[in-house]
Structure formats: C-alpha cells, structure tokens
Amino acid sequence: MNLQNRVEYFIFIIFAAFFNLFGIRNAKTSAKFLHFILYYVFPIRKDVILKNIKIAFPSNNNEENKKLLSKIYYSLSITLAEILCSQNIKKEDLNYLVKMSNNEIVEELLQRKSGAFLITAHFGNWELSALYIAAILKIPLHVLAKPQRNNLVSNWLNRSRSQFGNSVISLGVSIREVYKALKSNGIIGVVGDQRGPEGGLRVNFFNRQTSVYPGTAAIALKNNIPIYFFLIIRNKSFRYDIIMERINYENLKGDNNEKIQKINDIYMSRLEYYIKKFPEQWFWMHNIWKY
C-alpha cells in the first residue's frame, strides 16, 4: 500500500469527521465550506464542466453558465458532504431525507418473481437512494460500482453501501456475478450514465451522439428481465424525492441490436428530461463527450 493512498485516505477521514460534526441532515449548511473550496480554491475539472454545459445548453450566455457552474459545485458539495456522513446514517435520517410515492412500483418489486434492473444516474445523491431502497423499502440491491483508484477509499465506500443489506459487485468482475444475482431474483442497481467505449453503441443525448454501455439492455432482453428507471431528486427543502418508472420494451420493433439501441434511447432521453429540469444536480465533471 503506497504512501499516497494513505495520505489521501487520512485527508478523506478528516473531512468525514468534520461533516459528521454537523450531521447528514445539515449537509446543506456544512457543504457551503466545501463549495468554497471546490468553486474558488480548487475548481476541480472546471474546464470539463464548462465544456459539457456549453454542449448541453448552447443558448446560454457566459453569465448564465457562471451561475449554473456555481450551483453545480454547491449541489456536488451537498452530495459529497452527505456521502461522507453516510457510514453513520440511521434509518430515521433516511426517512427524514427521502420520500418515494410510487407505491405501485414498490409493490411490483416486492412481488417480483424474477430478477430486475434498477438503472439510475449520477444525479442528486445516487448513493443515498440505494441506502433508502434497502433500509426503508426493504429491497436489497446488488450495486454495480466502479472501484476507486485508492483502495482504502473504495473499501470505505463499499462498507457504507452495504450497511443495510446491499451488496457490491465491482465493475470488471465476471458477468457471472450479475447472472448469479439475477437467477436468485436479485435486483441489480446500475448507474448507467458512464461514458461507453469510443467504438461502442451511440445514442442521442443533448443533440450529441453519445457512447453508452449496452450491457444492461442486452442482458435484460436475453433473459426477459424488467428494467426500471429511477432518479433521486433534491427538492427545495433540501430533501429528496425518488421517481421510478418501468422501461417497457416488450413491444419494441426490430432485431435485438435495434431493441438494445431503443432501450438506451429511452433511458438517455428520460435522463436528459430531468437534467433540463434540474441541471445543477447532474454530475457534469464526467467527460461524457470525450469523443
């Protein structure tokens, strides 16, 4: 284990201790400190964010982009502050912070007779949504997660993710782990807005042909697995609402490749709709239009 990882983890733990002094319910206040650092002192990936919002919102002027940039850093600061408090979160906190009103979908998931995919995005506080679904809805997830470069931070995050019964499947691990979970009627939680390979499947996203990963759609089609799109959206009271809807692909026309394309079109178009409504809540630091 190298010295850099240890130093980074030490700093990470110091920040976690600081934000836990305020508690997760007060993240909107404590995050102002982090917003100052990220926006004014160390504006991480500012060039990528500006490039992305200019692509997504070409009619914005410089002043509008500047205001949106500050809101993006503040929203991200709240999310990070909440994540740093997540190992100490209680069910009462989740009940206070998060609500989901679509009881029909919840009942459908509870009564399912097969596995399922829940596909979300880096939006609002995606980590909090998985904890809520497991702890409050009593629906444990198998969460697909990309390991961090620093394994100490990765281990910390995975302990947080699994505290209410969720399990973590690392991206890059054999697809057999996903199939194993689905065959046991498990639910796979997927953050689907990662940039796909340069030569891979592309769909329209903010009027730009954008590379995506086709794996979720391909597995679902092959095994007749239901797919649900969901997002956790921060509201004006700095709490969250989870929206969830089923992606109905049974009546799609065409061969398997065309159906995979259409499923990804549906997912990305729904994501685009909510980004336009709440633009500051998406993770714009991701270089999704690298090529």
Q: What is the pLDDT of residue 93?
A: 98
pLDDT greater at residue 147 or residue 180: 180
pLDDT band at 1 (very low <50, low <70, confident <90, very high): low
pLDDT band at 103 (very low <50, low <70, confident <90, very high): confident
Q: How many helices (H) and strands (E) does the chain have?
A: 11, 9
Is residue 289 included in any domain, yes or no?
no
Is residue 29 included in any domain, yes or no?
yes
Is residue 9 included in any domain, yes or no?
yes
Q: Mean pLDDT throughout 39-60?
A: 96
Q: What is the 3-state secondary structure (H, E, C) of 69-86?
A: HHHHHHHHHHHHHHHHCH
Q: What is the spatial distance between Cα 228 and Cα 120, in angstroms, rounded to a whole number?
A: 9
- Give the β-pairing of 208-211 and 202-205: antiparallel
Q: What is the spatial distance between Cα 20 and Cα 81, in angstroms, rounded to a whole number?
A: 9
Which of these, 55, 290, 56, lies nearest to 196 by C-alpha position?
A: 290
Q: What is the pLDDT of residue 173?
A: 67
User: For the chain, what percent of residues have pLDDT higher than 90?
Assistant: 92
Residue 230: Cβ-neighbour burial (10 angstroms; 0-12, 13-18, 19+): buried
Exposure string (b/e) for 165-185, b if CB count within 10 Å is 16 or more?
ebbbbeeeeeeeebeebbeee
The token pair that represents 64 in the structure block: 């509008």
Q: What is the pLDDT of residue 147?
A: 86
Residue 42 vs residues 39, 57, 158: alpha-carbon distances, Å: 6, 25, 27
Q: What is the spatial distance between Cα 251 and Cα 43, in angstroms, rounded to a whole number?
A: 46
Is residue 80 included in any domain, yes or no?
yes
Is residue 290 included in any domain, yes or no?
no
Q: What is the spatial distance between Cα 259 and Cα 267, in angstroms, rounded to a whole number?
A: 12
Domain limits for position 154 = 3-281
Please count the structural domains in the chain: 1
Is residue 125 included in any domain, yes or no?
yes
Residues near 277 by Cβ (< 8 Å), separated by ≥ 6?
Answer: none
230-270 pLDDT tens trace: 999 999 999 999 999 999 999 899 999 999 999 999 999 99
- Element spanning 34, H or E: helix 27-36
Q: What is the spatial distance between Cα 255 and Cα 161, in angstroms, rounded to a whole number?
A: 37
